[in-house]
Amino acid sequence: MPIISPQRLTVSRRTLLTIAAWIALCSIWGSTFAAIKIGLTFLPPFTFASARFIVAFLALASIAWFQRSRLPTRTELQVIIKTGLLQFTVNYGLVFWGERYISSGLTAILQATIPLFGFLIAHYKLHNERLSIKRIAGLLLGLAGVVAIFSDQIQLGGSDMLIGSFAILLGAFCAAYSSVLVKANAQSIDSPVLISGQIAVGVIPLIGYSFIAEGGFFSVHWTWNAVTAVGYLAIIGTVVAFTIFYWLIKHTPVTSSQLTSLVIPVAAVLVGVIFLGETVSQKVIVGGVSILVGLSIILWPSASNRGVVDSNLQPASIQEA
């Protein structure tokens, strides 16, 4: 009978744990777009977003406190403020607002442009992230996919769906810009401090607008469904998912975590079709495939450079919702 060494067993368990973590992350972040769509039937968008991030902030700030994480310097605090406004006020505010008019699957596909925008912005902001022929080809292919989707929205849904799609795309651009700023100036900030700080900054305008335009938290009838939607997005979709993501960043090659960018939109579309009865038009499928293929061209290392991966993606730029 063959003897399995403890070292081999440990490697096997680590591999299984990595696979399980990767699948869990893609499943969670693939489901958050549908969770937003469901929650929007019970809550107005900015109140919904504010409630989610208040709960998420309390949880993440508690983690940072228990870990005795280092507080940011004045320079790092400036980066947190800028990226918090871009990532959480603008991007998430537009995601919650725009998804009222388009499907959860289409929202996920448009958010998949975050890393594409990230590579374009990095060309001008980061000296070691220049555009190559391969990256330009991927960007052009992704742009062609966006054009196909927008032409479809004009034909099918008129102005509301077009505006909703544009809002998601604008949010994706701001999230990409945020990720480049993080990479350039905030690499040394502890993850719980960075994210909780960004949320603390970004949620303030969301709360303010929710009270001005929607009446705030006290005007909402907090049903069990509404509380469940907020809790799922805050605890599972933010705290648990980011914990898994940072574990993958630490224990696996960067390619493994980046490839979630290709799987999450597919998972989100499937969740929307299966659980929400959403339909996907032919142009959206073609456009989505074009975006994902363009992204895969950029992410995949060349044959002569297998050990080095395009690494503009940061945790803050992953297109979870």
**Secondary structure (DSSP) of 24-64:** HHHHHHHHHHHHHHHHTTTS-HHHHHHHHHHHHHHHHHHHH
**What pLDDT score was predicted for residue 136?**
86
Q: What is the CA radius of gyration of the chain?
A: 20
- d(CA 27, CA 271) in angstroms, rounded, equals 9
**What pLDDT score was predicted for residue 28?**
94
- d(CA 210, CA 164) in angstroms, rounded, equals 18
Contact 230, 51 (CB under 8 A): yes
**What pLDDT score was predicted for residue 222?**
92
Contact 139, 120 (CB under 8 A): yes
**What pLDDT score was predicted for residue 99?**
95
**What pLDDT score was predicted for residue 319?**
58
Question: 84: buried, middle or exposed (CB in 10 Å: 19+, 13-18, 0-12)?
Answer: buried
187: tokens are 């690499």
**What pLDDT score was predicted for residue 1?**
45
Contact 309, 258 (CB under 8 A): yes
**What pLDDT score was predicted for residue 315?**
44
- pTM metric for this prediction: 0.86
**What pLDDT score was predicted for residue 303?**
46
- d(CA 305, CA 307) in angstroms, rounded, equals 6
**What pLDDT score was predicted for residue 304?**
46
- d(CA 273, CA 277) in angstroms, rounded, equals 5
Ranges of residues in the chain whose predicted pLDDT is under 50: 1-4, 9, 303-317
- Tell me how far CA of residue 8 lies from CA of 2, 19, 243, in angstroms: 12, 17, 26
- d(CA 283, CA 149) in angstroms, rounded, equals 6
- Domain range annotation of the chain: 21-317
- d(CA 109, CA 268) in angstroms, rounded, equals 8
Contact 46, 208 (CB under 8 A): no
Half-sphere CA count of 281, side-chain side, radius 13 A = 16
- d(CA 275, CA 258) in angstroms, rounded, equals 26
